[in-house]
Amino acid sequence: MPKQTGWVLYTMQITHYISEMGRIEWLRKLGLSYKKMEEEGIALPVISLHVNYKKSIRYDDLIKVKTQLKERPRSVVEFDYEISNDFGEISATANTVLAFINLKTNKPTETSKVFFRGVK
Quick one: CATH architecture of 3-118? Roll (3.10)
Q: How far apart are CA 41 and CA 106, in angstroms?
A: 10
**Global pTM value:** 0.76
The reported pLDDT for the residue numbered 2 is 45
Tens of pLDDT along the chain (120 residues) come to 445 555 555 555 666 666 677 778 878 887 888 888 888 898 888 899 888 888 887 777 888 888 888 888 888 989 999 989 889 999 889 999 989 999 999 999 887 565 666 555
The rounded distance, in Å, linking the Cα atoms of 22 and 17 is: 6
* Closest-CA residue to 102 (of 47, 46, 42): 42
Measure the CA–CA gap between 12 and 118, rounded to whole angstroms.
29
- What DSSP state is assigned to residue 75? S
Domain residues of the chain, as ranges? 3-118
Q: What pLDDT does 71 receive?
A: 83
